[in-house]
Amino acid sequence: MNSPQLQRGVFLALLAIVTVAFLWVLMPFFGAVLWGVALAILFTPLYKWLLRKMRGKPNAAALSTLAICLFIVILPLAMVGVSLVQEVALVTQNIRSGQINFAAYFQQILDAAPQWLLNLVERFNLGDMAAWQARISTAAGQASQIIASQALAIGQNTFDFIVSFFVMLYLLYFLVRDGAGLSKRMRDALPLAKPHTHYLLNKFTTVIRATVKGNVAVAIAQGTLGGLAFWFLGVQGALLWAVLMAFLSLLPAVGAALIWGPVAIYFLATGHFWQGGVLIFVGVFVIGLVDNILRPVLVGKDTQMPDYIVLMSTIGGMAIFGINGFVIGPVIAALFMAAWSLFADSGNVDNENDPIDPPKTPEAADPAVQAAREARTKRD
């Protein structure tokens, strides 16, 4: 029997199938789509300002926004990437030639270590020092091989990268120009109450803007400061270590210290006390303060999430999605908290006559949530 219920069920099944198929088709360009959306959200305020200045010419405003994005974001990253490839090749060559010898550095630290520290290490059965030296030497050799293989893989995947790059730019142009209309159509299509849809989409855009803006700003600041400190102290491969510090700074609190900490220990163990003291001072009071001041202001304040949620969602997102996870993880966490807040608020509306006053949440003061409560009350 061709009943309306059957027709609706078949239509919903078809809708689910074609949606999953469409997402499957887009999977090869997942990174391009993600960063196209993120950059569009980040540069939409600039597009709106240019649109007002150009008196309602959307194509010219979108092209100008794209050009500015290329100039201040993409071209600097490309220049750093080219310099980084050259630096990686030089460091790899120095490791193979023995100019950079991690085993020798480790032996120098052991020679300078006090006897009580060596006894403590032996007491906790951390193994023979010669064995640790052999392990470090082997790990250094493996690291050089990994770096070389990754450089080769980047060269082999250059075509895929170029295709994804131009897909991102193409998508970015249309998302900047037509983003407001697409957002409205999405709000109208989602089977949710309009205030809830508006609230969740606003949370989505706010978290992406805060995460990209905040984490990238912190990474650039920490990587630049750490690289300048390494260059001033004469550490080989300062640019490489700066990029590694910038990447690891995506892990709040401990990221950059994983690079400058061992170098400071080496300086102190080998008698270079002023170099070690300068590096510790820069690491703790300059690089550390950047993380402790900028990250809560740029990330936690806008997302309205506790620092530990930001930390866990960032690490978990990067473990699952790779480098893209530092955006995806906090977005999922923020939407999780927002959805449950709306659900709890709906329950509070149902129990508003209960003698016990339910606890208030920060989202309960949101205008969208109040509108949802008023609409629910009118229906009841």
pLDDT at 318: 79
Structure tokens that stand for 190 in this block: 């989602």
Round to whole Å and give the CA distance between 207 and 361.
18
State residue 119 phi and psi, 5-degree precision.
-65, -40
| Residue 328 · residue 213 · CB < 8 Å | no
Would you kindly state where each structural domain of the chain is located, as residue ranges? 28-128+155-189, 194-345
Question: Is the pLDDT confidence value at 153 over 60?
Answer: no
Percent of all residues in the chain with a pLDDT value above 70, rounded to a whole number: 66
Q: Where are the beta strands (DSSP E) in the chain?
A: none
How many other β-carbons are positioned within 10 Å of the β-carbon of residue 340? Answer: 12
State the pLDDT confidence band at 136, using cuts at 50, 70 and 90: low
Which residue has tokens 């957002």? 183
- pLDDT attached to residue 219: 82
Mean pLDDT of the chain: 75
Amino acid at 335: L
Q: CA 105, CA 107: separation in Å to the nearest integer?
A: 5
The model's confidence at residue 102, banded by pLDDT at 50, 70 and 90, is: low
Check if the beta carbon of residue 263 is closer than 8 Å to that of residue 235: yes
pLDDT of residue 17: 92
pLDDT tens digits, residue range 225-269? 888 888 888 887 788 888 888 877 776 666 788 888 888 887 887
pLDDT of residue 356: 41
In angstroms, the CA 20 to CA 12 distance is 12
What is the Cα–Cα distance from 253 to 295, expressed in whole angstroms? 10
Angle between the N-to-C axes of helices 158-189 and 58-69, in degrees from 0 to 180, rounded to the nearest 10: 140
pLDDT band at 131 (very low <50, low <70, confident <90, very high): low
Q: Show the tokens assigned to 4.
A: 């309306």
Encode pLDDT of 330-355 as tens digits: 888 888 888 888 887 776 555 554 44
Here the tokens at position 120 are: 């403590």
Calculate mean pLDDT across residues 116-125: 65
Assigned token pair, 261: 């900490």
Confidence check: pLDDT of 20 > 80: yes
- pLDDT-derived band at 148, boundaries 50, 70, 90: low
- Interhelix angle 30-53/194-233, nearest 10 degrees: 100
Q: Looking at the predicted structure, is the pLDDT value of residue 124 above 70?
A: no
For residue 78, what pLDDT band results from cuts at 50, 70 and 90?
confident
Average pLDDT over residues 159-165: 77
Give residue 211's pLDDT: 77
Of the spans 158-162, 279-283, 291-295, 297-301, which averages the highest pLDDT?
A: 279-283
- pLDDT above 50 (res 307): yes
Give the pLDDT score at 235.
Answer: 80
Q: Which residue has the higher pLDDT, 318 or 24?
A: 24
pLDDT over 60 (residue 358): no
The overall longest dimension of the chain from CA atoms, in Å, is 88
Is pLDDT of 151 > 60? no
Q: Which among 340, 316, 311, 337 has a CA at the least distance from the CA of 328?
A: 316
CB atoms within 10 A of CB 202: 14
Q: What is the structure's pLDDT at 364?
A: 47
The residue among 41 and 91 whose pLDDT is bigger is 41
Identify which has the larger pLDDT, 142 or 377: 142
CB 69 within 8 A of CB 39: yes
| pTM higher than the cut 0.85 | no
Residue 192 host element (H or E): none
Does the pLDDT at position 30 exceed 70?
yes
Contact 132, 107 (CB under 8 A): no
Stretch 174-201: mean pLDDT, rounded?
Answer: 81
Encoded amino acid at 195, one letter: P
Is residue 89 pLDDT above 80, yes or no? no
